[in-house]
Amino acid sequence: MAWRCSGSSNAGLVANMWTHGLITEPLVKEAFLKVDRRHYAPGMPYQDSPQPIGYEATISAPHMHASAIENVLSRLLPSETSPAPRVLDIGSGSGYLTHIFAELVGDRGLVVGLEHISELRDLGEANMKKSPEGKKLLEAGIAKFVVGDGRLGWVEAARAGEEQLGTAWDVIHVGAAAKEVHSPLLEQLKAPGCMFIPVDDDSTGWDQSVWRIEKDEEGKVTRKKLFGVRYVPLTDPPRR
C-alpha cells in the first residue's frame, strides 16, 4: 500500500496517507501538514520511500513516520497526568520526525533529537530552521538536537520549575535497528511511557521487526511486535 501514498506536494502526500489509513488521527494529520518534507528529503520529497541523507543514514519513508507517531500518540500529547511530555528521538537524522514530534507535545513539551554523528545533528537543526514553524520551536526550547550514543539514551535535566516531573521520557523513538532493547532505554522510559524501536530478529541483522514497548504506572514492561522492517543499524558511527 505504501507506494500509493506518494504525492506531488506535501498536502497531497499527507492526504494520501490519510485516505489509506496510515494517518488516522486529525491531530497527527495537522502536524504532518505543518512540516513540509521538502525541507528534510534531498530529492523527491513527496515520494513515499526512504532516501539517503549522507553518512550512511537515511530518512525513512513517510508512512513509517506516520506509523511511529500513531503508535506513541497516547503518551505524546500533553494531559493532566503529563502536562509536559518529553520525547527522545534516537537517530534523528534529517530532523523530520523530531519536528513533527515537537508540533504535538504542546507549549511545555520537549523533544530531543539524538545523533551519534555531529554532522547529522547539525543537519537536523539546520533543516528545522528552514521553516518559520521549525525555527520557532527551536528558539522556544521545545526542540533541540544533541550528539551522543543512542544505545545509552540521553539524560536531559528538568527545566526550572519542573523538577518534580523528573527526567524520564514519556516517549522514546528509535530510528535505527538495535541489536537488542538496550537496558538504559528501558531505565530512562517513564512509567507510564512507550517506546517505538526496530530490533534485529537474528544475529545476521537482516531480519528486523518494530516493537512497541509499554511501561505501565507500576513499571511493568510489555512488548508487542508490530511489523517487519529494514533500518540502518544503531551502532558506532561509520569510519571516515
Active-site choice (60, 67, 82, 92): 60
Strand (E) or helix (H) holding 112: strand 110-115
Q: Determine whether 60 is an active site residue.
A: yes
Bond preceding residue 198 cis, omega within 30 of 0: no
CB 146 within 8 A of CB 121: yes
CB 164 within 8 A of CB 184: no
The three cell numbers locating residue 47: 515520494
Query: What whole-number distance in Å separates Cα of residue 173 and Cα of residue 69?
Result: 9
CB 189 within 8 A of CB 172: yes
Nearest to 145 by CA among 195, 111, 100: 111
Question: Which residues sit opposite 199 in a β-bridge?
Answer: 178, 209
Question: Which residues sit opposite 68 in a β-bridge?
Answer: none
6-12, long-range: CB < 8 A, 24+ apart? 6/46, 6/47, 6/48, 6/49, 7/46, 8/46, 9/46, 10/35, 10/36, 10/37, 10/38, 10/45, 10/46, 12/46
Would you please indicate which residues are annotated as catalytic (active-site) residues?
Answer: 60
